Structure 1
Amino acid sequence: MSKEKRMAGSYEIEQSIYIGEKEVLFGVNKAEEYPFMVCYCSYNNPLSAPWCTEAIGTDDYLEAMQVFTDRVQAQIELVKTEQEQYRFDKTPFTVSDCIPDNHSSNIVGKVVVINAEPKRYEYQHAAYQLVLADGGHGATGGRGQAVFGTCLATGERGRWERYDVLGEIKPEKMPEWAKEALTKLKVQQKEKKTHSREER
């Protein structure tokens, strides 16, 4: 059974490396004036569809490979810089650190642990696991899977799936950095609610 070719426009993708928030692609189309192409590909959109940007074409294979490896290295440096701010134990949390989740209980307002195993290697890090859940059918124990919340380390809101929630973090397993982040986050949320009421 033949494997389906991956394409970016008219170029067949022969090499790809996903590091950080972007994937770097190397494509070939010998029928084009510039047969070698390098671009970024990201999936940060509502449909999670591949979105190619900053494409360059060349007829020089070594030049294309140089651009490809330079872009991969740039992504590595971005992730390194991001993670340098997390000066704490990066060992991922496991189910043993959690109050077991039965997937039907309400976890809104609780700090939950997101399973690190499905994540790419660079994100198998404790910083990306602790999330304050605040909504979604999955969070309320409904039929859906969506769990919305805020990552304590990054401060970014996002969506996770209930089946990726290992459980609520045990109080004794909650690290100091997470306690501090949670306190700040709750203050910010309270201020937003107060501001919203004042606007009304």
Structure 2
Amino acid sequence: MEEKEYAGDYRIEQSFTFGRHHFVIGIDENAAEKYLLAERQATAFGYEYREAVVSNDYLEIVNEFALRIQDEVEVLRDIHSERGSDGIPFGPEACREDSSKQNYENQILILNPAYLSPEYRTKEDQLVLAISGFGCAPGRRAQRILCQSLSDGEKFYIRGYDVLGIISQQCVPHWAEVSANLIRDVVQKERQEHKAPNCER
């Protein structure tokens, strides 16, 4: 039997992820205000529920949920506008020929759109720099790859099968090349510092 999720005494009945937010709606039939809307965030110790509102009016809760979704829609629209995004993702035709047989480390990769949430299926959000990991090596794509987003700098892990391939040079946007080079410089500096002998006594 699947274990139910609770925010305090509120049993979570619905959850929805959109953009950078994970919304939950919960019910506590014994509470003075039976319905809860909150934003769930993962921590080292489990989940925290923030920006919570409660009400006895379920429609009020749903309306607040709709308003928060709309706010996030506007944020994403602004981001797309600032980037000049056409909202269309890269396909395999933008990858180097036989890139699946090449080492991914230090390369700009195109994420498979299916890996991303629908609102992030854009060229800008697909581009990452592969930093390290066993999954970078051909034949080991089931292993993890540490990568960094070229659009927002976030670091996260993927698997090799989450990647369409290495982007072909003629398809690399100028901003992405600049971002990738900055990340490469930081990674190289960190590796040199890690290897440097400690001369302090």
Question: 1:25 matched to which residue of 2?
Answer: 24
TM-score for the superposition, normalised by structure 2:
0.78
Q: Secondary structure, in 3 states, of the residue corresponding to 2:16?
A: strand
The answer to whether the Cα contact below 8 Å between 1:5 and 1:12 also exists between their aligned partners in 2 is no
From 167, 182, 185, give the equivalent of 1:184: 182
Tell me if 1:64 matches 2:73.
no
SS of match in other structure, 1:107: coil
Aligned pairs for 1:111-122 (under 5 A) are 111-122=108-119
Q: Which runs of 5+ in 2 are unaligned?
A: none
Q: Give the equivalent residue in structure 1 for 2:157.
A: 159
In structure 1, distance between residues paired with 2:31 and 2:176: 52
- Report the Cα distance in structure 2 between the residues aligned to 1:46 and 1:134, rounded to whole angstroms: 24
Within 5 Å, give how 1:4-83 maps onto structure 2: 7-9=5-7, 10-43=9-42, 51-83=48-80
Query: Counterpart of 1:179 in 2: which secondary structure?
Result: helix
State how far apart, in whole Å, the 2-side matches of 1:199 and 1:151 are.
31
- Aligned partner of 1:128 in structure 2 is 125
Q: Which moved more, 1:21-30 or 1:122-131?
A: 21-30
Question: Once the 2 structures are TM-superposed, how far is the Cα of residue 5 of structure 1 from its aligned partner?
Answer: 8.5
User: Pick from 102, 106, 112: which aligns with 2:103?
Assistant: 106
Cα drift, residue 13 of structure 1: 3.9
Out of 140, 147, 150, the residue aligned to residue 149 of structure 1 is 147
* TM-score of the pair, normalised by structure 1: 0.78
Question: Structure 1 unaligned runs (5+)?
Answer: none
Contact 1:17 1:72 (C-alpha < 8 Å) held by counterparts: no
What do you get for the CA RMSD once the two structures are aligned?
3.1
Contact 1:39 1:52 in 2 (8 A): yes
Q: Secondary structure at the match of 1:166?
A: strand
Identity of aligned residues (%): 24
Q: 2:167 corresponds to which residue? A: 169
